[in-house]
Amino acid sequence: MPNVTPEPSEDPSAPVASGIGRWSSPMQWGFLLLISAILAGGLELTGIPAALLMGPMVAGAIVGMNGGTIRLPRPAFLCAQALIGTMIAETIRPGILTTFFSNWPLFLAVVLSVIAMSTLSGFVISKLNILPGTTAIWGSSAGAATSMLVMADAYGADVRLVAFMQYLRVVFVAAAASLVARYWAGIDGPGPEIVWFGPIHLVPFLETLALALAGGCLGKWLRIPAGVFLVPFLLGSALSVSGLLVIEIPEWLLALSYAMLGWNIGLGFTRPILAHARRALIPTIISILVLIGFSGLLAYILVHAAGIDPLTAYLATSPGGMDSIAIIAASSNVDVPFVMALQTARLLMIMAIGPSLARFVASKAILPR
């Protein structure tokens, strides 16, 4: 998922503040909190997994598209990513490596297939001259969005359109995964009652916070795509499996992290960006739906070839963002370690071959006719 949200002041063509944008920042935040609570509560009552992510995401989009000017501070977003990565690490069990390596040819084929389909979508959009230059190639990349934004800028693509395509895919994939988990996989009604303010064991809690902080800082310092999420996840998994660390994060802090991730995505849908991307909206949506459908086909293959349960297979093959899928998986009755193994493998593969593949395909797409 992209971590870069263009500020309104960065776009010289942005209109004068209107709608919600005329309100003071405290009023905008208050309105965002109110509709986030209403939407998250409603989704929670219907049994939609990850309602605490989806509600704030939709609320952020409502505020952004109606002229809102507030943005989530970047340090808050990075802290949320690190905490979510640490939380997911708690679900990892020692048998994950055995499961993964016993079927590695199939899993590798699945990962490469998702990358190939997303690249093909970008190539077609570019060839049809729907988007300028190489923008479609970078915008369609399934994963490592921050890295793709940087590469897109270096290659002369329109970063605003790339960010829009990445955000839109995250929203569609997260929404589809939540709906599949609720209505297709038979998750009935709200989940077990959550104890929001239960007792906190101070030492494990402080150790968990230290891991999230250190891992997030390390991931950012190493400039690893999604490193602020990925490094705490990998370090936490190793420490948890070895018994050296008991991960403890209270529910209220997780809920806040989910909300901040949702706001960061939703607030990216501003009027100037939507106006700028108007011509590409329908083709982008079609390409996203094709990619989601293709991932569903891959999930079907996993179910019948490897005996994976359908919802686990679907979440494992969903084309990002990894942190959003992790939240949905943690809220559902699935094999979370397997989902994260395949999602992590895809991210690492994108890191390894994504930029070179995108440059190669982009060069083919812009060859003179």
DSSP per-residue codes, 27-91: HHHHHHHHHHHHHHHHHHHHT-TTHHHHHHHHHHHHHHHTT------HHHHHHHHHHHHHHHHTT
pLDDT for the residue 351: 65
Phi and psi, residue 277, nearest 5° = -100, 10
pLDDT for the residue 59: 94
Is residue 87 one of the residues assigned to a domain?
A: yes
Mean pLDDT by 10 residues, the chain (369 residues): 40 54 93 95 80 89 92 91 86 69 82 88 83 75 61 66 81 83 60 63 91 92 79 88 87 90 87 81 89 91 86 86 78 82 79 70 62
Q: Give how far Cα 360 sits from Cα of 123, 131, 210, 240, 356, Å.
A: 11, 17, 41, 41, 6
Q: Give how far Cα 238 sits from Cα of 76, 92, 231, 246, Å.
A: 25, 9, 11, 11
CA 239, 241, 247, 251 dihedral sign is positive
Helices 251-266 and 25-46, packing angle to 10 deg: 110
Is residue 41 one of the residues assigned to a domain?
A: no
Is residue 46 one of the residues assigned to a domain?
A: no
What number of helices (H) and strands (E) belong to the chain? 16, 0
Is residue 96 one of the residues assigned to a domain?
A: yes
* 270: three-class secondary structure by DSSP: coil
Is residue 260 one of the residues assigned to a domain?
A: yes
* Structural domain count, the chain: 1
pLDDT for the residue 39: 94
Is residue 290 one of the residues assigned to a domain?
A: yes
pLDDT for the residue 222: 86
DSSP annotation of 17: P
- 241 membership: H or E segment, kind and range: helix 227-242
Rounded Cα gap, residues 314 and 86, in angstroms: 23
**Chain segment 1-45, per-residue pLDDT in tens:** 444 444 433 443 344 456 888 899 999 999 999 999 999 999 888
Which one, of 40, 94, 110, 89, lies nearest residue 326 by Cα? 89
Is residue 50 one of the residues assigned to a domain?
A: no
pLDDT for the residue 7: 41
CA 13, 19, 20, 23 dihedral sign is positive
Tokens of 67: 């002229």
Could you list the residue range(s) of the whole structural domain that residue 313 is in?
74-365
Is residue 80 one of the residues assigned to a domain?
A: yes
DSSP per-residue codes, 153-220: HHTT--HHHHHHHHHHHHHHHHHHHHHIIIIIS---SS-SPP-TT----HHHHHHHHHHHHHHHHHHH
